[in-house]
Structures are given as structure tokens and as C-alpha cells.
Amino acid sequence: MTELKLRLQEGDTETIVSVDQDIFTIGRLPECSLYLPFGGVSRNHARLRKTADGTWIIEDLCSKNGTQLNECLVTCPQELNHGDIICLGNVNLVVLFATAGTQVAIKPTPTVETAEQRTIFRNVKQLQQQWIEANSKDSGISNKDKTIARLKDLVDIAKNLCAATSIEEIFSQVQQVVFRYLDSIDRLALLIDVTGNGNLELMNAATRNVAQQQDLAADGSWISRSICQKVFDEKVVIQTADTQKDERFSGEHSILVKGILSAMAVPLWDENKVVGVLYADACLSSYHWEREGEEELSFFSALANLVASSVQRWLLVEKLKTEEVIRHRLERYHSPSVVQQLISVGGLPDGRLLPTESEISILFADLVGFTAISERLKPTAIAQLLNNLFEEMLQEVFTYGGTLDKYIGDCIMAFFGAPEIQPDHADRATSAAKGMLTRLEKLNLNGFWQEPLQLRIAINSGKAVVGDVGSSQRVDYTALGATINLAARMEAVCPPGECVISEVTYKMLSQPSDFHEMGEHRFKGINRLVKVYQTIMHE
């Protein structure tokens, strides 16, 4: 008596199933004769039936992904023979016939080396055009009519995408279209190169099963990064139903561990630049790719072309918004020319200037007698005085390419040589100081204030750490270090209406003759004598 058995391979575990009924059903429902709760298996997938003459046949029960016998689609009842391989979704069953009580040799299940790889690489442009120029399989519908219908669909999709103003809205439109047109897709993800450095960031993801939406990993751990990177780098379209058997992807940990079997990925490319990848996966059989996969892939690629334009527009808008915020903030500190240079070179990660060591000249300009003046004025009058004075003095700082560090009461703190490298920072600082003193003289002659005003200015040069410093709530662009401390101390020895500089600054000047030596001074917190020079223009 001949017995029919099925050998099921699950990882390293092999199970032999005896077919003990003349009608033997296989599927994902528990009531099936052989219960297979695996990806790609339909609830009632296939049936084995014993005929009157003792022959066993297999029938597909209108399963979603089809049933294959020896890699051929089962479209009508097929006779089974010893060693045949039945493929249902992602499950392989080996047919074993044996006389009761005997052992027989069987054909081995195909290995990674012998299995046919079903990974498709396609040219983007050809695929996009292929879907539009339809090859109709529907009776009564001409190719021309179907092409027109598809073009109308693309126009409607494009209109909706153009109306989207955020990346969330763009993805929402894509999600609706994909799940409406492509029944085979289970999960969808949009990855974008936001910074332009080639790193794909997961922007959004969705699953057809709403109940599983929360289970979709926010970090995108379910996505095959090697497939997405290949699509992004090489500008190709990839569709695969056998990632674990394809040596190009077999080394990726996520594919092996997460069981990624069927995936589709297309570049977001508008012929000029790839800005991201549209990725989808599903539990599908190789047969599905052969039957419908190429048309689905061509539509997916055509859709990605429309998405690319929307994403490009969104990236541009976001860049302009960021630049506007950065420009507005930097204009408080830098001259307009420096602001434009900083933005154009893109040296502002996250809108911040990272602290770096720089060679600078630091300038402190203090209003003489401010304490006595403030005793005689109302707070509003004090504020008006400082606002008007700072507005005038800052023009001299910006004229020579300086950077405003901060206002400290009645004092202006500015530096030269950063963030833009300026080898002549000492000349720039002293020129700005002379300009401030000259400008204030003219303002006094024109009755700028009810009484003449004077400044004390001190300049020192050397190394300092310059950049954004602070917490997540508040950040200041500032200079730190011993060079700054000395300049602040030097103001105390500066005569009213003059500028003093350190010996370091003096030696860096292209025209040091504008200053003469005042002598050596000792300053609090500095354990050495410091030679100081003073302007001679106002003696």
C-alpha cells in the first residue's frame, strides 16, 4: 500500500506530515488538514485529492499568491509524483511516496545555491513609461483607453501631491494611492535624504492592517537598508521575492532575522537628483512577481517620480525656512556679507555654529561715566541712549567685518577673525575702534545727546573658542578664553576717549605707528606683566 507524506522544512527543523485523508486541505485556517500560519499562505490555499484510481492530485483554491508545483503555476489539477516540490507562499513541501514500512530516497529541497533567484533590477525611465503605455489584458478595454485612464489617474495623483504642504500630507497621499492600486503591498515607507549627505532618514511608514500600525517600528528596523541604499546609490528599481536566497542581500542581518522575503524599492528621482526612496514589502510568492509584479513595479516607479517632485519642493521650502531663521538670528551678530557667506557654505548644522578654536581680536567698548549718567536719567531714557549709541557703534563693527558677541550693560563686546577667517583681524579691530571714536566725536558735535559722550576701548588678540554655547532653551554665539579676559581687564587703564591694545595685537598690526607704548601693567587674575599701547590720534 502506497502512503503519501509531505516534508515541511522550517529553518533547521524538518517535519514529516502524513496525508491520512482522501481530501487533504492546506491553509492558514486552523481547521485545515495541514495548518500553515506562515506569510503568503491563504486561509484556504490548496487541496490534495486522491482519485478513484489511487492517483494524488493538487488543486489551487484561488489563493492570493498562487500554488506552484516544481516552480510551475498550478492552474488546473496536477498529478503528484515522488520528490515533487509544492510551493505555497513562502512555504515549500516535498512530496514523498512510499510503501508502508519502507524508506525511500527523496529529492532534496532546493538549496540557496540551486534555487532560482527572483530579484528584478529595472531601469527607472523604462518602467515609468511601461505602466502608462498599458498592455491591456481586460476584454473590451483597448490599450489606448487604458493608457488614457492611467494618464488621468496620474494627473489626479499629481494634483493631490502638489496640494500637500507637509511631508505628512505627501505621505498620506502616497499611502492612499499605493494601498488602493497595489493589493499585494502590506507595508510602505518613505525615506528621504534630508541633509543631502546620502543618509536616508525614515520620514513615515504605514501598514495596510490598521490594527498593526502601532507595531510598525518607528526606527524602521523592518526595512531592508541594503536594498534602499542600493536603489538610492545606483538609481535602479529593485523588486525581489527571494531576498534570503539572493547573495546580493543575503549578508544583511535584517533580511535574515526579520524574514524579509518580498520587497519593492524605487528611487525618488526627477532626472537631476535622487532625494529618497519609496519602499514596500509583503509576504508574496515568486509567482506573483512573475504574473503581476512587473506592472505593479512600473506603477510604483511612475508614482515615485511624482512623489520626488513633491519631496523636492518640500525640501526647498524647509531649507528656505531654516535659512530665514538662521539669517534673522545671525544678522544680530554679523555683517550682511558674513551672514550670506555662512549660509551659502552650509556651515550651520541644526542652525548652530559649533564651538571651534580660532585666532581672533576681541574688542570691548565701554561708555565712560555711565553710572553717573544713569543716576540722572529715567530707565526709559537710559534705554533710549544705549539703543541709539549701540546702533551707531555697531555700524563700525560691521563695516570691518566684525561679529557682535553681546551687550554687557553699557559695554559692546565684539570680535574679528571668526566665524569667517580673517588673517588681518587685528587691523580690522583697531580700524573699527578708531571708526567708533571718530563717529562719536561727530555725533557729539551734532548734539547726539544732551552732553558729550566718551568711550573707552580695549583690544587683545589670541586664541579663543568661538561658537554657539548654551542649553537647548537658550544659545548665545560667543567667544571664550583667556584672550577675552585680558581684553576686559585692559579697559580699566584706558583713558577716556581712547583705545588701548595689548602687545600681541600691536605686533600684528600692518601700521603700528598709530599707537605708542603706555608701559607694562598688572591685571587681576593674570600672573604676568602686560605691555599696553594707546592710540595717539587723540592726544
- From residue 228, alpha-carbon distances to 171, 177, 199, 201, 281 in Å are 17, 21, 11, 11, 12
pLDDT for 66 equals 86
Q: How many CB atoms lie within 10 A of CB 36?
A: 22
Nine-digit cell string for 247: 547573495
- Omega cis (within 30) before 512: no
Nine-digit cell string for 208: 495596510
- From residue 509, alpha-carbon distances to 42, 252, 366 in Å are 84, 61, 23
Query: In one letter, which amino acid is 29?
Result: L
Nine-digit cell string for 493: 587703564
- Could you state, in order of their start, the residue ranges of all structural domains in the chain? 2-99, 119-319, 336-535
Query: CA–CA separation, 349 vs 329, rounded Å?
Result: 14
Query: CA–CA separation, 478 vs 174, rounded Å?
Result: 45
Nine-digit cell string for 355: 564651538
Nine-digit cell string for 351: 542652525
Name the nearest CA neighbour of 208 among 280, 156, 160, 260. Answer: 280
Instruction: Tell me if 383 sits within 8 A of 374, measured CB to CB.
Output: no
Query: CA–CA separation, 533 vs 505, rounded Å?
Result: 9
Query: In one letter, which amino acid is 353?
Result: L
CATH topology of domain 119-319: Beta-Lactamase (3.30.450)
**Half-sphere exposure of 155 toward its Cβ, with a 13 Å CA cutoff?**
6
Does the 336-535 domain belong in CATH 3.20.20.300? no
pLDDT tens-digit profile, the chain (539 residues):
678 999 887 655 678 888 989 999 998 888 899 988 776 788 899 999 999 998 999 999 988 878 989 888 898 999 999 989 998 877 889 999 876 544 444 444 443 333 344 555 555 555 555 555 555 554 445 555 555 666 676 777 777 778 777 888 888 888 888 888 787 788 899 999 988 888 898 998 888 876 666 656 566 777 888 888 888 888 888 877 655 555 555 455 444 444 455 788 888 886 678 889 999 887 655 555 555 666 777 778 878 888 888 888 888 888 777 777 777 766 666 666 566 656 665 555 555 677 889 999 999 999 999 999 999 999 999 999 999 999 999 999 999 999 999 999 999 999 999 888 999 999 999 999 999 999 999 999 999 988 999 999 999 999 999 988 887 677 778 999 999 999 999 999 999 999 999 999 999 999 899 899 999 999 998 999 999 999 975 44
Place of cell 527607472: 124
Instruction: Tell me if 468 sits within 8 A of 355, measured CB to CB.
Output: yes
Instruction: Tell me if 25 sits within 8 A of 34, measured CB to CB.
Output: yes
pLDDT for 305 equals 81
- As a 3-state breakdown, the chain gives helix, strand, coil percent values, each rounded to 5, of 35, 30, 35
Instruction: Tell me if 397 sits within 8 A of 430, measured CB to CB.
Output: no
Query: CA–CA separation, 297 vs 131, rounded Å?
Result: 9
Instruction: Tell me if 531 sits within 8 A of 486, measured CB to CB.
Output: no
Eight-class DSSP state of 369: T
Eight-class DSSP state of 199: -
Nine-digit cell string for 401: 567685518
pLDDT for 401 equals 92
State whether residue 464 is helix, strand or coil: strand
Burial of 97 (0-12, 13-18, 19+ CB in 10 A): middle
DSSP per residue, 484-514:
HHHHHHHGGGPPTTEEEEEHHHHHH-S-GGG
Q: How many CB atoms lie within 10 A of CB 350?
A: 8
CA-only gyration radius of the chain, Å: 38
**Class of the CATH-defined domain 2-99:** mainly beta
